[in-house]
Amino acid sequence: MNKIRNKIMHAGSRASLTLFMALGLVVTSCGDNLITQPVGNLPDEAALGHVGSAMRSELSISGRGQIVLAEPVEGEEPQTVVADELFYQLSKPAATDTKVTLSVGTELTPEFLAEVDRINASIKEINKTLGAHPSKLRIPALFPAHNIQLEMTELLIPAGKTRSGACKLSVSNQGLGRDSLYLLPVEVQVKNADGKAQMQLFQYKVNDYPILLKDEDPRPWPNGVVLDENFMTVFYVNTETYQPLIADVFGYDKRERKNPRNRIQRAIGNIVNLKPAVVGYEAAGGRAILILGLDLRYVLENAAKYIRPLQNRGRKVCLCIQGGGKGLGFCNLSDAQIADFTAQVKKVVENYNLDGVNLWDEGAKYGKEGMPAVNTTSYPKLIKALRKAMPDKLLTLVDKGEPTENFYDVNASGGIEVGKFIDFAWSGYNNEKEIVQIIEPWALDHPYSEITRKPIAGLAPERYGSLNVPKYTSQPSVEFAPIITTRSPKRVIDWKAAGRKMNNIIVFGFDLTANEQNAYEGQPHNGAFEYLALSVDDGSKWGQNPWTGEWQVSNGDYFYRCIFTNPVYNMGYGLYKKNW
């Protein structure tokens, strides 16, 4: 278990220069506020005589970019980095040599100025709670021309080819101010089939620092607080409602019962899974495509602001992929679709420097007309393909329902022992209106759940998360109060006391939230996070109150209490709600 834990707990060192770049083509919309990862028809086909064209980047999947540079240090030489490599691409071979001209723009765009206004409005709202430590407003500015170097200003697509050579874009941090938010516009001109020039504009934001409760990045934890290594806690963040930085809030205070001065404080949330990403279907080519929600795409493209602070703490930030409701999913892919889809996932994970993938086959809506039938080999093949493509990335899955029910059977899984290709699996059974389900696939009896599962072949119990805590609230309704305050806690304590707990994996499978206006009970608060105290060996126990005679949760050798590493989390409403 230590080796497994160490694999997850290893914290990457913070680089002196953080660079995150995302530039390219605004991809095709698929409805329902989602966008597809691969590009189909390019947007300017009509203007170019039915030949699709677009500026592309080696690092990008969308048309808005961000560069974060290290602050210039007085007395040190400026740092210059290659921000990206740009090239131009056609959907069909060029009939004649095609020239593309690149230049640096000289004006702030209305879109950029509106973005700065939006950011400053958010800062003003946050500053109302800060007192003596307000954050400074951002000053819009053009990125200095002398800090920009285009390797060439003209690209050529030879006749019969579809792609130009690459041009390096380099930038320097010389003389930059921390309070400024810079725009680096790149103008691209190409002549269409009628000889008319067509222009595309790409906008890089430079040094969009995180909006925090102090002018510090990331916000420091209280003295002595580090990421916990005794547990492996798993979080989910839905970027349609909240920033990933909400995962940086939660922790616990542990005090010895006999000597309360003997205490430690730890943060939790070792794995943070980001949603929504789903499996879509491209009818024209019969492809399974990775679809990123608009909000998730924004977060990925602003990873320096929303993801790197979590990773710098030692957390693993992963992409959670679910079903897209099209009838195509992990369980009915062809071999060609698996290879294609794996390549798409690999590109996103590597482009945005994510730590891995969490597979949650829910919402695919299998059985739709025109879609292939479900089979028991597709999902195992996909898992094996993802592991082969990303051997050093974290690969986890949610065990629930029919998609994973045959993973115990190697023959049914096409000869694949699924457990040998994943790092962890955990129960997906999580209902805030029901008693907690403690899933033990390897057990001969199942006294702590109403649901039974079979073990995943090749996966040791030490790597399976049996406890997935529902979003139990601190103020339950009368109807569900007995489940939350008595039955579920007792079940966890009894399970622990029986010596059946195989590890310290705790999954919080709900989407993290803060206090919700007019719905205070919507905050998970202690109702959910007290389950860490319930499950840990030296934590809560079941005992009789000596004064009332009632049996209830009582303290063990140590008191465990939920804390928030950002105290403002518990003082208002909606802290860390998405601010874009």
Average the pLDDT over 534-547 and give the result.
85
pLDDT of res. 40: 32
The CATH architecture of the domain made up of 1-15+275-422 is Alpha-Beta Barrel (3.20)
Q: Angle of helix 335-351 relative to helix 378-389, nearest 10 degrees? A: 40
Distance CA(521)–CA(474), nearest Å, equals 6
Bond prior to 218 in cis (omega within 30° of 0):
yes
Q: Provide the pairing of β-strand 263-267 with 226-227.
A: parallel
Beta bridge partners of residue 62, listed in sequence order:
none
Q: Are 568 and 508 in contact, with CB atoms under 8 Å apart?
A: no
Rounded to whole angstroms, the Cα distance separating 524 from 475 reads 10
Query: 109, 201 in Cβ contact below 8 A?
Result: yes
Residue position matching structure tokens 């096409």: 414
pLDDT score of 548 more than 90: no
Encode burial over 217-235: b for 16+ CB neighbours within 10 A, e otherwise.
Answer: bebebeeebebbeebbbbb
> Other CB atoms closer than 10 Å to residue 497's CB: what's the count?
12
| HSE-up of residue 159 (Cα within 13 Å, Cβ side) | 3
Strand 551-554 with 232-238, pairing: unpaired
| Angle (CA) 243 244 245, round 5° | 90
Minimum mean pLDDT range among 12-16, 370-374, 487-491: 12-16
1-15+275-422 and 41-206 share one CATH topology?
Answer: no
- What average pLDDT does this structure show over 353-366? 97
Residue 31 pLDDT greater than 90, yes or no: no
pLDDT at 58: 58
Higher pLDDT, 421 or 229: 421
Segments in 378-473 forming alpha helices (H): 378-389
Q: Determine the Cα–Cα distance for residues 428 and 217; give it in Å rounded to an integer.
A: 34
Residue 22's pLDDT is 31
CA 115 and chain centroid, separation: 23
For 322, the token pair is: 């679910």
- CB count in 10 Å sphere of residue 325: 16
DSSP character string of 167-209: EEEEEE-TT--TTEEEEEEEEEEEE-TTS-EEEEEEEEEE---
Take residue 390 and report the two structure tokens written for it: 């990303």
Which pLDDT tens digit goes with each residue over 437-486? 999 999 999 999 999 999 999 999 999 999 999 988 766 666 767 777 78
Q: Please tell me the predicted confidence (pLDDT) of residue 43.
A: 34
Q: What is the pLDDT of residues 297-310, one digit of tens each?
A: 889 988 888 999 99
Bridge partners (DSSP) of residue 511 are: 236
288 DSSP β-pair partners: 281
Question: Do strands 467-468 and 232-238 pair parallel, antiparallel, or not at all (unpaired)?
Answer: unpaired
Q: How far is 282 from 488, CA to CA, in rounded Å?
A: 44
Asked whether the predicted pLDDT for residue 366 surpasses 80, the reply is yes
Whether 240 and 578 have beta carbons less than 8 Å apart is answered as yes
Would you say the pTM of this structure is higher than 0.85?
Answer: no
Prior bond of 276 cis (ω within 30°): yes
Residue 529 host element (H or E):
helix 525-529
Tell me the average pLDDT across 334-361: 95
Predicted confidence at residue 265, as pLDDT, reads 92
Largest CA distance in the chain: 92
Give the residue-averaged pLDDT of 34-60. 43
Q: Can you tell me whether residue 88 is helix, strand or coil?
A: strand
**Buried/exposed code over 64-99 (b: 16+ C-beta within 10 A; e: otherwise):** bbbbbbbebeeeeeebebebbbbbbbbbeebeeebe
CB 362 within 8 A of CB 405: no
Closest by CA position to 60, among listed 340, 290, 297, 310: 297
Q: Beta strand pairing status for 271-282 and 316-323?
A: parallel
- pLDDT at residue 14 tops 70: no
CA angle 400, 348, 319 (to 5 degrees): 30
Evaluate whether 72 touches 174 at the Cβ level (below 8 Å). Answer: yes
The CATH architecture annotation of domain 41-206 reads Sandwich (2.60)
pLDDT reported for residue 510: 93
Local structure of residue 198 (DSSP, 8 states): E
Q: How far is CA 160 from CA 41, 100, 185, 405, 524, in A?
A: 19, 16, 30, 51, 60
Per the document, the length of the chain is 580
With bands split at pLDDT 50, 70 and 90, how would you rate the model's confidence at 47?
Answer: very low
What does the pLDDT average to over 187-207? Answer: 77
Say if residue 219's pLDDT is above 80. no
Phi/psi of residue 188, each to 5°? -125, 125
What is the domain partition of the chain in residue ranges? 1-15+275-422, 41-206, 225-269+427-580
Distance of alpha carbon 474 from alpha carbon 530, whole angstroms: 10
Q: Is 423 left (phi over 0), alpha (psi -120 to 50) or beta?
A: alpha
Q: Strand, coil or helix: what is 510? A: strand
Rounded Cα distance between 164 and 155, Å, is: 6
Cβ neighbours of residue 241 under 8 Å, at least 6 residues apart? 511, 513, 577, 578
